[in-house]
Amino acid sequence: MIQLPSDFIAQMTSLLGDHEFDEFQKAIEGERITSIRTNERKVTSEVSNATIVPWCSNGFYLDNRPVFTMDPLFHAGCYYAQEASSMFVEQAVRQHWNEMDEEEPLFLDLCAAPGGKSTLLASLLNGKGWLVCNEVMKSRMGILDENITKWGAPNVTVTNNDPKDFGQMNGLFDLILIDAPCSGEGMFRKDDKAIEDWSLDNVQLCSERQRRIVADVFPALKEGGLLLYSTCTYNAEEDEKNVQWIAEKLGAEILEIKTEAYWNVTTQGAGYHFYPHKTKGEGFFLSILKKNTNESHTKIKAPKQISLASKEVTNTCSNWLKHKDVKFLQEGDRIIAVPSQWLEVVLFFKQKLRVLHNALPMGIVKGKDIIPDEALALSWELDQTKFPTIECTWEQAIQYLKKENIQLEDAPKGIVLFCFNGIPLGFGKNLGNRCNNLYPSEWHIRMNAEKEKYTAVIMR
């Protein structure tokens, strides 16, 4: 039985009433819910043993929690293990973005790690516009970059900046998502440490920090732009009161999100709550606001000197991509592909922000050769027909993902593309007597590979 703090029990009883609190407590003492969101740019197949998350077009509840590490398609970015309640972001964006009539928007996910909501925004953009995924904590940058890369969207910049750094970019973004650091009440079912760390003082501390974060970044939102504010808490201090503060003090209109009755989403007027005894998922709160204050607009100025790749490098890299209206930047020996229309914006971000990942890393120049990057193998833009393909068994796929060398028979020398069920996993360089594994060392599987633990989540 979960031992809840007495102050939390008093808070929730006041909010829900005695009878409903009993139902709430039973729910958070029950089994964890497992849900995934599929990447429709990579797979359109059915999900096995699953039911649909009703507020998300590609969200699914799984009957059982598989060992995701044993599924090569998980590593290939075919799906993301995301908490179902947080997929409600899709409804907020779909219902209100269409009203703004902006075909090439600029989105910012301010507190992005580990990347669940960022990959959802990337899917909603579907290759249009540009997405900046920011994480202030350096220790969380690696997992964010990995998840963004595996998802495959080429129109993304990953940064490591303080919210104030964006606040200097007046009126630049059409939409800003702030999944604010919070007291974690909605995570009690899955995280014992969240219970240990909870206190009324911490709730107040989080509320004040959330206001500072919003105030610091708010100037970067254009007039008429959308602000999505979310937490994984239930209390009004971090939720409704903060939303009302944003509306009144910073200048914004709270918008409505239409829901279906059977979703059992709860609203108190300023936002939408997901309670685990009502909705199938963890605790979550979301509000969407429209900025109604005037904001000057930052002028994008790119550097005059741009390091473009040579004609030979450009020709080779262009051949690897589906779309050709791309500029290839060369940074030392690294080649980056940027859509021509976004070149100035990407270079502007590189000047103003600490950028970890920009657009589509293509590869590294080594002498007369270009060694393709893992990001290219996993990208939506890869023209898979341009590389010899090695279709792997499950055993070979896991061997590749553990970064072990694989013996190939009758394979051409040079760069080859390893695939599982037709989906790219990454590159290797076949030397004839052996094949060098080019999978990133920091991503490789460390647990023992046991096929009996493998469950095919995506049916192909």
Domain boundary among 351, 377, 403: 377
397 and 353 both lie in a single domain: no
305 and 448 both lie in a single domain: no
- Whether the Cβ atoms of residue 381 and residue 325 lie closer than 8 Å to each other: no
Domain assignment present for residue 350? The answer is: yes
Domain assignment present for residue 265? The answer is: yes
99 and 52 both lie in a single domain: yes
Q: How many domains does the chain have?
A: 3
Domain assignment present for residue 296? The answer is: no
146 and 271 both lie in a single domain: yes
CATH of the domain at 429: 3.10.450.720
Domain assignment present for residue 430? The answer is: yes
Domain assignment present for residue 382? The answer is: no
Of 176, 67, 182, the C-alpha closest to 447 is 67
Domain assignment present for residue 15? The answer is: yes
Compute the distance between CA of residue 189 and CA of residue 275 in angstroms, rounded to an integer.
Answer: 12
pLDDT in tens, the chain (460 residues): 788 999 999 999 999 999 999 999 999 999 899 999 999 999 988 898 899 999 999 999 999 999 999 999 999 999 999 999 999 999 999 999 876 667 899 999 999 999 999 999 999 999 999 999 999 999 999 999 999 999 999 999 999 999 999 999 999 999 999 999 999 999 998 888 999 999 999 999 999 999 999 999 999 999 999 999 999 999 999 999 999 999 999 999 999 999 999 999 999 889 999 999 999 999 999 999 999 998 788 889 878 788 999 999 999 999 999 998 999 999 999 999 999 999 999 999 999 999 999 999 999 999 889 999 999 999 999 999 999 999 999 999 999 999 998 888 888 999 999 999 999 999 999 998 889 999 999 999 999 989 999 999 998 7
373 and 396 both lie in a single domain: no
172 and 215 both lie in a single domain: yes
124 and 225 both lie in a single domain: yes
Q: Could you write out the three-class secondary structure of 259-291? A: CCHHHCCEECCCCEEECCCCCCCCCEEEEEEEE
CATH of the domain at 233: 3.40.50.150
363 and 309 both lie in a single domain: yes
51 and 106 both lie in a single domain: yes
Domain assignment present for residue 459? The answer is: no
Tokens of 150: 């595996």
Q: Could you write out the three-class secondary structure of the chain? A: CCCCCHHHHHHHHHHHCHHHHHHHHHHHCCCCCCEEEECCCCCCCCECCEEECCCCCCEEEECCCCCHHHCHHHHCCCEECCCCHHHHHHHHHHHHHHHHCCCCCEEEECCCCCCHHHHHHHHHHCCCCEEEEECCCHHHHHHHHHHHHHHCCCCEEEECCCHHHHHCCCCCEEEEEEECCCCCHHHCCCCHHHHHHCCHHHHHHHHHHHHHHHHHHHHHEEEEEEEEEEECCCCCCCCHHHHHHHHHHHHEEECCCCCCHHHCCEECCCCEEECCCCCCCCCEEEEEEEECCCCCCCCCCCCCCCCECCHHHHHHHHHCECCCCEEEEEECCEEEEEEHHHHHHHHHHHHHCCEEEECEEEEEEECCEEEECHHHHHCCCECHHHCCEEECCHHHHHHHHCCCCCCCCCCCCEEEEEEECCEEEEEEEECCCCEEECCCHHHCCCCCCCHHHCCCCECC
Domain boundary among 342, 377, 412: 377
Range of the domain at 450: 387-454
Domain assignment present for residue 110? The answer is: yes
283 and 311 both lie in a single domain: no
232 and 90 both lie in a single domain: yes
Domain boundary among 377, 410, 440: 377
243 and 360 both lie in a single domain: no
Compute the distance between CA of residue 382 and CA of residue 326 in angstroms, rounded to an integer.
Answer: 13
